[in-house]
Amino acid sequence: MASVDVTVRGGGIFGLSIAWACLRRGAKVRVIETVALGAGSSGGLVGALSPHVPEAWNAKKAFQLESLLMAADWWAGIEAASRLPSGYARLGRLQPLPDDRAVEAARRREGEAARLWLGRAVWRVIPATGADWEPQAASGWLVEDTLSARLSPRMGLAALVAALREGGAEVVLGEAEAEGAVVHSTGIAGLNDLSQAFDVPLGSGVKGQALALRFDARDQPQLFVDSLHIVPHADGTVAIGSTSETTWDRDGPDAQLDALLAKAVAAVPALSGAEVVARWAGIRPKAASRAPLLGAWLGRAGHFVANGGFKIGFGMAPKVAEVMADLVLDGRDGIPPDFRLDALVQKTTARR
């Protein structure tokens, strides 16, 4: 009789979250990470848990909404089990509107958010006040949403690992035997393995870079300015990120971070002169569908895949974890069509 019911390969946000969901349901769990916990994109700095624009609604946006609404209780449970902070706080987000056209579009979305977000969060246009913690807005108007939250990726992973160990799960650094059902959540290496196994390109890596400043704005909302995330964290830092690079010369941080910093200071002058305390670069796993890639591994009985978190892995993690636990432990398949591994394999194969 196996001593483990579920083995999770991969110590990033998807792998650890699925392990936690399975553990909470009474499964005996082993996590195997061969490099380092958070070694891929999960070990970054930004931690912006933010929704898609409330329009052109689809299954991906609905899934993300459920996950974001689950997040407060999800992370509170992890903090209680681990007795460690995750840095989670739902403090909302501000975005500057550059012109009248953008203001008009944002006002239309107010009604869509009221309808689609089930009355549990709002998206609204508000006047800029000129406060220090406010992005520069040429139109004089901002979008405020109350759904966005922040999480410290490194604190969150540490809390998850501690909660797993407190609950009796094994967390192995290095090689170990996989027993029971096996969930593969190994980031870009896993996407490469899947592409090779099915002989079709199922995903690729995208380099991201971010930095952190010593600037205490921990009770302020995050900002989103011209594709740049500016996220205050509970430890008195502000994370700034990130780049999206499909080609790169080196894996580590480089001079592009200087441009990110300059852009952030232009948006929020209060950040000028703040000390840079961390620089980060990592490779994000992006599935060809641009959605999380979930499901049974075709042709490998008892093996499953959860990959492709790309930029939204932390925001999607609570719902991904529960859906995968349903599938692995109970055989209940609630994976949305756009997230399905089998559907992506079929679609990609048909294009050849």
CATH code at 94-149+205-286: 3.30.9.10
CB 31 within 8 A of CB 170: yes
Amino acid at 24: R
Residue 311 sits at φ, ψ, to 5 deg, of: -95, -10
Cα distance between residue 22 and residue 325, in whole Å: 6
Q: Is 275 helix (H, G, I), strand (E, B) or coil?
A: strand
Q: What is the pTM of this model?
A: 0.96
Neighbours of 100 (CB within 10 A): 10
Cα distance between residue 123 and residue 71, in whole Å: 19
Domain 6-89+152-203+287-350 in CATH 3.40.50.620: no
Whether 284 shows a pLDDT value over 70: the answer reads yes
> Dmax over Cα atoms in the chain, in whole Å?
67
Domain ranges of the chain: 6-89+152-203+287-350, 94-149+205-286
What secondary structure letter does DSSP report for 270?
G
Residue 227 sits at φ, ψ, to 5 deg, of: 70, 5
Question: What average pLDDT does the segment 36-45 reach?
Answer: 92
Cα distance between residue 1 and residue 48, in whole Å: 42
Question: What average pLDDT does the segment 90-117 reach?
Answer: 96
Task: Average the pLDDT over each of 18-22, 50-54, 85-89, 169-173 and give the range with the smallest value.
Answer: 50-54
Confidence bin at 2 (pLDDT 50/70/90): low
Q: Give the model confidence (pLDDT) of 259-281 as tens digits.
A: 999 999 999 999 999 999 999 99
Whether 350 shows a pLDDT value over 90: the answer reads no
Which two structure tokens, joined as six digits, stand for 145? Answer: 């949403």
Q: Give the model confidence (pLDDT) of 169-211 as tens digits.
A: 999 999 999 999 999 999 999 999 999 999 999 999 999 999 9
Nearest to 258 by CA among 209, 223, 225, 222: 209
Nearest to 226 by CA among 259, 255, 271: 259
Whether 1 shows a pLDDT value over 80: the answer reads no
| pLDDT of the residue at 73 | 98
Domains 6-89+152-203+287-350 and 94-149+205-286 alike in fold: no
Quote the percentage of the chain above a pLDDT of 90: 94
Which two structure tokens, joined as six digits, stand for 288? Answer: 């060809």
**Residue in the structure block whose two tokens are 């501690």:** 162
**Mean pLDDT of all residues in the chain?**
96
Residues 6+ apart with CB under 8 A from 63: 316, 319, 336, 339
Which two structure tokens, joined as six digits, stand for 255? Answer: 């001079």
> What's CA 245's distance to the chain center, in Å?
17
- The count of C-alpha atoms lying within 13 angstroms of the C-alpha of 102, restricted to the half-sphere facing its C-beta, is 15
| pLDDT of the residue at 220 | 98
CB 205 within 8 A of CB 289: no
Instruction: Classify burial at 14, counting beta carbons within 10 Å of its beta carbon; exposed 0-12, middle 13-18, buried 19 or more.
Output: buried
| Buried b / exposed e along 15-27 (16+ C-beta atoms within 10 A) | bbbbbbbbbbbeb
Question: What average pLDDT does the segment 80-105 reach?
Answer: 97
| H/E stretch holding 163 | helix 153-166
What secondary structure letter does DSSP report for 41?
G
